[in-house]
């Protein structure tokens, strides 16, 4: 609803955590303690469509040696953390517009796949492998931060490709590639949709400094949104399309 902003903090002084504030910056406070991930994209946060809570990634140590990413949900009404997956090496969750499904990334033996599953109706029963519909095969591509379009018909996703290309792909809701929005030597990431389904915002270093860019799908037009010296990352447009939050 645009009333609040959630963000992750990682620093050397304390364990990583998720914070939330009002849209005007007031009431800024830590919501979840001890969140971390072995991948930078695993720090992404996704609100539920009804604004009742948020999905995020946490890392567990298994058998005292292995680090496993898994997906959690924080219910703001109950002020309760709910586990969504267990031992799946799952990260980067994002809900469908109706809130019934989650798209996310699973890592196995250094390879990633895009996965789709129903949001568990029973908070005590996490998603299992048998519940997953695979949107991609095992292959050479490294996926990150998949995001449903507001109308639910498409998914935008970051992809590391062989040869060192870090680009953004557009998929249909079944995982079929529609197009590559770019294929160049820039590092493009953090792709998100505008509320009207027309524009994809993302972060890129194509000028030598990371800034926020926008890609208009219909016109296939790319333009720069920010011009900062310290870098701009993780864009998040407001639901009314009038403002853009980002980290700098």
pTM of the predicted model, to two decimals?
A: 0.93
Mean pLDDT of 36-44: 69
Residue 38 has pLDDT above 70, yes or no: no
Q: Are 179 and 161 in contact (CB under 8 A)?
A: no
Higher-scoring residue by pLDDT: 39, 81? 81
Residue 108: partners with Cβ closer than 8 Å, 6 or more residues away: 89, 138
- For 179-200, the pLDDT digits (tens) are 999 999 999 999 999 999 999 9
Average per-residue pLDDT in the chain?
92
Element (H, E) at 193: strand 188-193
DSSP structure class, residue 42: G
Residue 142 has pLDDT above 80, yes or no: yes
Rounded CA-CA distance 29/32 in Å is: 10
């Amino acid at each position: 609803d645009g009333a609040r902003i959630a963000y992750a903090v990682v620093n050397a002084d304390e364990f990583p955590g998720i914070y939330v504030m009002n849209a005007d910056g007031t009431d800024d406070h830590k919501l979840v303690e001890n969140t971390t991930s072995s991948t930078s994209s695993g720090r992404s946060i996704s609100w539920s469509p009804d604004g009742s809570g948020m999905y995020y990634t946490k890392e567990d140590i298994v058998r005292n040696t292995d680090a496993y990413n898994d997906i959690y949900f924080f219910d703001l009404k109950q002020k309760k953390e709910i586990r969504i997956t267990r031992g799946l090496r799952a990260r980067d969750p994002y809900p469908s517009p109706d809130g019934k499904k989650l798209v996310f990334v699973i890592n196995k033996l250094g390879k990633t796949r895009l996965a789709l599953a129903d949001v568990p109706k029973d908070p005590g029963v996490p998603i299992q492998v048998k519940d997953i519909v695979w949107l991609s095969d095992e292959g050479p591509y490294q996926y990150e931060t998949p995001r449903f379009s507001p109308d639910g018909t498409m998914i935008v996703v970051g992809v590391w490709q062989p040869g060192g290309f870090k680009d953004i792909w557009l998929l249909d809701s079944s995982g079929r590639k529609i197009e590559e929005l770019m294929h160049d030597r820039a590092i493009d990431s953090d792709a998100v949709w505008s509320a009207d389904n027309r524009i994809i915002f993302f972060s890129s270093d194509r000028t030598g400094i990371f800034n926020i860019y926008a890609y208009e799908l219909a016109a296939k037009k790319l333009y720069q949104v920010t011009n900062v010296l310290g870098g701009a990352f993780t864009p998040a447009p407001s639901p009314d399309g009038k403002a853009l939050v980002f980290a700098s």
